[in-house]
Amino acid sequence: MYFEDDEILGGSPKSRFFDILFHANRNVVQTEVEKMMEWMAALELIIEEKCGLDVEKEVANVLYDEGQRAKLEQKVNSLYIEYMGKILSQSE
């Protein structure tokens, strides 16, 4: 799905996320970015330790697989929206 001209968000999830990121309370943004980094680190540890997979290789496989492109884009947009909500809910 193409979001660049999305009327509800007033732009793509990515562009709206960065608008919010740059204008929200710095402490809130810092806390959420730290949580995102911890989440990614935990996911990498799980993949390495529980699945025995090479994280870099597996990520590259998904990033460069055209068959996964639409699913990946949908997930990325979903994450932008999720984190926008987390930042905005703490900025009110």
Model confidence pLDDT, tens digit, residues 29-66:
999 999 999 999 999 999 999 999 999 999 999 999 99
Q: Look at residue 8 and tell me whether its pLDDT is greater than 80.
A: no
Q: Structural domain of residue 21, as residue ranges?
A: 13-90
- In 3D, which of 67, 90, 72, 73 has the Cα closest to residue 20? 90
Does any domain span residue 2?
no
Question: CATH code at 27?
Answer: 1.10.3350.10
Total number of domains constituting the chain: 1
pTM of the model: 0.82
Does any domain span residue 36?
yes
Phi-psi region of 50 (alpha: psi -120 to 50; beta: other; left: phi over 0): alpha
Tens digit of each residue's pLDDT (9 = 90 or more) over 15-29: 999 999 999 999 999
Angle (CA) 63 4 82, round 5°? 65
- The predicted pLDDT at position 6 comes to 54
Does any domain span residue 8?
no
